[in-house]
Amino acid sequence: MTAALIGFALVLVLVLVRLPIVFAMGLVGTLGFAYERGGSIFSERGLKAAMSMVGRQITDTAQDYGLSVVPLFILMGLFVNKGGMARELYAVSNAFLGHLRGGIAMATVAACGGFSAICGSSLATAATMSKVAMPQMRRYGYSDELSTASIAAGGTLGILIPPSVILVIYGLLTETSIGKLFMAGIIPGLLGILFYLFAVRWTVWRDPEAGPAGERSGWGERFKALGSVWAVLLLFFLVIGGLYGAFDFHPLNLTFSPTEAAGMGAAGAFLIALFRGGLTVRSTFDVLKETSFTAAALFSVLIGAQVFSNFINLAGLPEALIAMVTAYEVAPFMVILMILGIYIILGCVFESLSMLLLTVPIFFPLVTSLGYDPIWFGIVVVVVTEISLITPPVGLNVFILKGVVGDVSTGTIFRGVTPFWVADIFRLALIVLVPIVVLYLPQQMGALGH
């Protein structure tokens, strides 16, 4: 256990001195594995065992068919962006909410939730919606704090509302049903939208000038806007409906696996973007290139995390934690609170995927040994990860937004997201205290035989 804790501390130190997380986890995991196998990080026996483990891990990851779902969902999100669906979602949200005080910010949050349902990436959601919503909010004199915060916070929904790349990776890491994880993310995702709307209302209640009311749309305009989101609804139904057996009737009898659903989603998004004239030969090549780079980066981090996880497991850290909790008779709920505290602290220095990959191999065996549902824990982890996306000083969504907008300081954005961060804490508390919020839909899936 001592070696594992030293290794964990070394990863933190290396990350703080700006070594990329993949190299930090890979290096510490390799040397730690060598130490555990040979008694010294320089022993020939230990190094041979470590090199063999690393090579096997790389090969297994490259040959894992289940991981093909990751680049396919990334590809779908990029084609969705080219298809201009973000603007349609924003238009329909604005038509119904824009006339309220703070309504354009509320429409932005709602549009982020809708875009998340066909994208699966928080960073892509934040970057895309900033280009769509920011000009409109500036036109009506919204404060930079509220404008940027509603985009940054709304963008975090991308990793929770299905399809979600993070949930896919959690499912693969823990051998948990991806379909049930997707279903479990729906209600917490909708609660996230609702709580963020309350955060907007709180902001404009305290400062009415932060979010002036926009123009009221007539019902004709609203119905026209609703009609324009057919592509979004079609794509969502194709992916999620196929995953849950919506096409499972004679003579089709089709139910998609997660990989098949991702493939159908990518193909559907490509055809929609092509039909709308959003693709050229050059832009298609750019999309494929960006998908390759993003997937390669994700797989590299995944391999580094698995190497580190092998060292942690060999050193016996998960078993030691379980034994410690048992010996001291710590109440299971207190263990969960301590884990959440660790996640919130780590969220200040780690980006979301790295934090998940670094901690899940350690905490997952402990949590399941205490009798908690792995699906529930997966959603709790993702919600905490969402919080890290807007937590200073890292807050990746904040820095993505800063890069797109340019003329707003990160301090301004962080001040603006404070009410949204508080809303996230309340949502996290609800999910932890009332697990049925997460588990109701997956249980219904089980009752229906899916």
Mean pLDDT (the chain, rounded): 86
Residue 72 confidence (pLDDT)? 87
d(CA 66, CA 160): 19
Tell me the CB-side half-sphere exposure of residue 339, using CA atoms within 13 A: 29
Which of 357, 11, 352, 8 has its CA nearest to residue 172?
A: 357
The interaxial angle of helices 317-328 and 2-16, nearest 10 deg, is 120
- Residue numbers in the chain where pLDDT is lower than 50: 447-449
Residue with tokens 């205290």: 433
Q: Return the DSSP state at 395.
A: -
d(CA 142, CA 137): 5
Which of 266, 262, 264 has its CA nearest to residue 75?
A: 266
Q: What is the token pair recorded at 143?
A: 């404060």
**Residue 392, preceding peptide bond in cis (omega within 30° of 0):** no
Residue with tokens 């907007």: 200
Contact 380, 160 (CB under 8 A): no
Residue with tokens 């990350």: 15
Q: What is the token pair recorded at 275?
A: 């039909």
Q: Where are the domains of the chain?
A: 1-63, 64-448
Q: What is the token pair recorded at 427?
A: 């949502």
Helix (H, G, I), strand (E, B) or coil at 254: strand
d(CA 122, CA 156): 5
Residue 374 confidence (pLDDT)? 95
